[in-house]
Amino acid sequence: MEELSALWGGFIVVLNPFNLALMIVGILLGVVIGVLPGLGGANGVAILLPLTFSMPPTSAIIMLSCIYWGALFGGAITSILFNIPGEPWSVATTFDGHPMAQQGKADEALTAAFTSSFVGALVAVIVITFLAPVVAKFALKFGPAELFAVQFLTFASFIGMGKGSPFKTLASMTLGFALASVGLDTVTGQLRMTFGTAELLTGFKFLTAVIGLFGIGEILASMETGLSFAGTHARLRLNAVIETWKKLPAYWATSIRSCIIGCWMGITPGGATPASFMSYGIAKRFSKNGERFGKGELEGVVAPETAAHAAGTSALLPMLTLGIPGSPTAAVLLGGLLIWGLQPGPLLFVEQKDFVWGLIASMYLGNLAGLVIVLTCVPLFAAILRIPFSIVAPAILVICAVGAYTVNNAMFDVWMMVMFGIVGYVFNKLGYPLPPLVLALVLGDMAESSFRQSMLLSQGSLTIFWSNELVGGIMTLGALLLSWPVIAWVLDKFREAKPA
């Protein structure tokens, strides 16, 4: 139990008034950053990084990592209230969180989101505390083929998502892939589909698309229905937190599954966004209430939030042990480590005990503090919905536009957002599902480069995806999930064929 004594040492480092104050400040800043679309956790940490140069490294990382936790919590708020994901990993939270808000159950959805986030983070920190060296070795096993297998599994677990025709799902996903391929091709170094314009060099930014598709699309749809918003007649329930907590234990299976998915995706640099999508897809597939997902199911909020937070937290592990960031925010923190005079890498745990265990202890305390802070604000957040929509809508539009502008500091992105808003509206009208498009847009790029790297390594042979147990296992699992609708259909036929 060497880890426990080290962790205790870490708590002693953290538990002084200065560090505790920094922790609270960090969480509050993080929640604000998470709420504002466009200003993601990575940007927030990058902007505040210079403030920390004069601090001792441990205090600095405590504050910055708390901003990160705060942003993870905050991302869920606008997703649920306004259907605008503040962060990429809260896109999946909108699928059920926003319908719940429309039914007047925003407080329940928020409580579930925050609590699940906390559970996910807690499990991830425990994994970091006790399994860091083992897990770091596991992460090394992930080459391009293994990464592609993971991305394939994400797509596979999501493919049956569309409520309507599978062809519409396919069309939507294909459009997403097409959009993802715009910009520089990382394997050949050639520009693709930029048509000679400088604006398209960087490709379509995921956040711009999401803010438009979901946020603007939603507002257009609400305007059509006469500026009414169902959530406004929600009663304010001060005991909502307790009431929701009573319901949550029923989803233990989903929660455990999501924790595993989240930790795994955070450690192998998959990241929080695919983790939340994969977890949502798998929960939908295996839940008893699967067919009600997308219409305001509490479980549909629990699954992505647990996984996103577990992944976001465990993403710090490869950063500390290997010096590879598991997420963009971790990448900025990595830069911070160097400025504070620390060398990230395999020896950090040995050479900088105070720093590492102080950070880990702050993960426990920071998440707990974060949970308390955001839960107290649940009635406040829910009350925002009581403001008449005709007043809120222009404010949301402005925030969306600012968010889209912030992504790249470019006006072009604001026009892009408006265009995506119209696309989102039309998609809704015609019954094309948006999630497959978003998933393809966010993962398409990574999946493509992993696939082509694998093909380079194997010189064009697909057998690389079954070349060892790890990659073969994941691919087979993905293939099974992909063909699940067919398998289920065959099983049904089989049962019908021999009536007992």
Which residues contact another protein by CB under 8 A?
Answer: 42, 46, 49-50, 53-54, 139-144, 183-191, 194, 198, 201-203, 269, 322-325, 328, 331-332, 334-336, 338-339, 341, 343-347, 409, 449, 453, 456-457, 459
- Distance in Å, CB of 145 to another protein, minimum: 8
Of 409 and 463, CB closest to another protein: 409
CB of 386 to another protein, least distance (A): 39
Q: How far is the CB of 346 from another protein (least distance, A)?
A: 3
Distance in angstroms (rounded) separating the CA atoms of residues 337 and 345: 11
Smallest separation, CB 212 to another protein (Å): 19
| Count, residues in the chain | 500
Tell me, letter by letter, the H, E, C secondary structure of the chain: CHHHHHHHHHHHHHCCHHHHHHHHHHHHHHHHHHHCCCCCHHHHHHHHHHHHCCCCHHHHHHHHHHHHHHHHHHHHHHHHHHCCCCCHHHHHHHHHHHHHHHCCCHHHHHHHHHHHHHHHHHHHHHHHHHHHHHHHHHHHCCCHHHHHHHHHHHHHHHHHHCCCCHHHHHHHHHHHHHHHCCEECCCCCCEECCCCCCHHHHCCCHHHHHHHHHHHHHHHHHHHCCCCCHHHHCCCCCCHHHHHHHHHHHHHHHHHHHHHHHHHHHHCCCCHHHHHHHHHHHHHHHCCCHHHCCCCCCHHHHHHHHHHHHHHHHCHHHHHHHCCCCCHHHHHHHHHHHHCCCCCCCCHHHHCHHHHHHHHHHHHHHHHHHHHHHHHCHHHHHHHCCCCHHHHHHHHHHHHHHHHHHHHCCHHHHHHHHHHHHHHHHHHHHCCCCHHHHHHHHHHHHHHHHHHHHHHHHCCCHHHHHCCHHHHHHHHHHHHHHCHHHHHHHHHHHHHHCCC
CB of 136 to another protein, least distance (A): 10
Asked whether the beta carbons of 464 and 145 are under 8 A apart, the reply is yes
Residue closer to another protein (CB basis): 114 or 142: 142
Which residues on adjacent β-strands are paired with residue 192?
Answer: 183
Shortest Cβ distance from residue 129 to another protein (Å)? 21
341/499 with CB nearer another protein: 341
Residue with Cβ nearer another protein (50 or 388): 50
Nearest to 280 by CA among 108, 471, 435, 106: 435
* Least distance in angstroms from the C-beta of 56 to another protein: 13
Report the distance separating Cα 312 and Cα 94, nearest Å.
18
Our CB check for another protein shows the closer of 143 and 160 to be: 143
Q: Considering the complex, what minimum distance in angstroms separates the CB of residue 197 from another protein?
A: 10
Task: Supply the minimum distance, in Å, between the C-beta of residue 6 and another protein.
Answer: 19
- Residue whose CB is less far from another protein, 198 or 391: 198
Distance CA 149, CA 258 (A): 18
With respect to another protein, which residue has the nearer C-beta, 331 or 384? 331
Min dist CB 47 to another protein, Å, is: 8
**Would you say 141 or 429 has its CB closer to another protein?**
141
Strand partners, 184: 191
- Identify which of residues 253 and 338 has a Cβ nearer to another protein in the complex: 338
Pick between residue 44 and residue 183 the one whose CB is nearest to another protein. Answer: 183
Q: Is the Cβ of residue 238 or residue 350 nearer to another protein in the bound state?
A: 350
- Please report how close the Cβ of residue 327 comes to another protein at its closest, in angstroms: 10
